[in-house]
Homo-oligomer: A and B are copies of this chain.
Amino acid sequence: MPEYAIVVVEPKFEGNVGAIARAMKNFGVTDMRLVNPCEIGDGAWQRSMHAEDVLNSRKEYKTLEEAVKDCSYVAGTSGATTEKEKAFVRINHMPWELADKLKAAEGRVALVFGRENWGLYNEELSLCDALVNIPTHPDYPIMNLSHAVAVLLYEMTRDTGVDTNPDIRLASGKERKAMYGFFDELLESINYPEHRREKTSTMFRRMLGRAVLTKWEFHTLSGVLKGSSRKIGRLESGNLLPMDKKEDWPEETEEQLD
């Protein structure tokens, strides 16, 4: 099971933050990260009950990007599927699907929750590898923030005793960032239309987010993307190398073989 961090973006009510700390400790998760939160005062401490230690060791950040920098996988919660999201991601995960994908993973996974009244903004959603949606009733789909944390952590930490996946080593945040960079460079190399780049880039990220790549897969796919841009660059600059030169492709590393 990965190590989970609970990231809450701009919570407005300190009571919710306290209740989240309690829910986290109930499910054995202690890494609390707040992005630009309200003031954390007595109301938060009261609601945290015996989880003062979680509240005490919370970390605060200015942006979501900063808060998830060291995470291998970022799952954003989305209260309801909007038209906008549909354009980017056709498939939201159900909580049990996400749990199933991640339960055998190693690494740090961020579960991101948005504002009480608004959820996550577009640019925050675009930082997520996957979106997860707690299925609720259409009459009143908006859950209390701490309830959403409790439900999701219940799902992510429960152990049904069935081990369906072998251990997966997730790529690090740095590796993932590099890979998405290679994809963007390729779009640049092939003169992909400017106005479609952002959408296509986000699509690529979410698609791979759903697939939950191993380190080996990340490295291999990175190699293909990088190799493509590089070849186009050499052809355009006229600095051709013998195309079948062995050094063009690094030998498989232990990483790739394991």
Interface residues of A (CB under 8 A from B): 19, 22-23, 25-28, 49-51, 86, 90-92, 94, 96, 133-137, 139-144, 146-147, 150-151, 154-155, 158-160, 164-165, 167-168, 186-187, 189-193, 196, 200, 203-204, 207-208, 210-214, 216-217, 220-221, 224, 227-228, 231-232, 235-236, 243-244, 248-249, 252
Whole-angstrom CA separation of A42 from B214 in the bound complex: 48
Whole-angstrom CA separation of A168 from B186 in the bound complex: 28
Contacting residues, chain B, for A144 (C-beta < 8 A): 19, 22-23, 49, 146, 150
Residue in B92, B160, B243 whose CB lies within 8 Å of A165:
B92
10 chain-A/chain-B pairs, Cβ below 8 angstroms: A22-B144, A186-B224, A186-B228, A191-B248, A192-B224, A196-B252, A200-B224, A207-B211, A232-B232, A235-B235
Residue in B90, B137, B142 whose CB lies within 8 Å of A27:
B137
Residue in B22, B147, B203 whose CB lies within 8 Å of A23:
B147
Whole-angstrom CA separation of A190 from B73 in the bound complex: 30
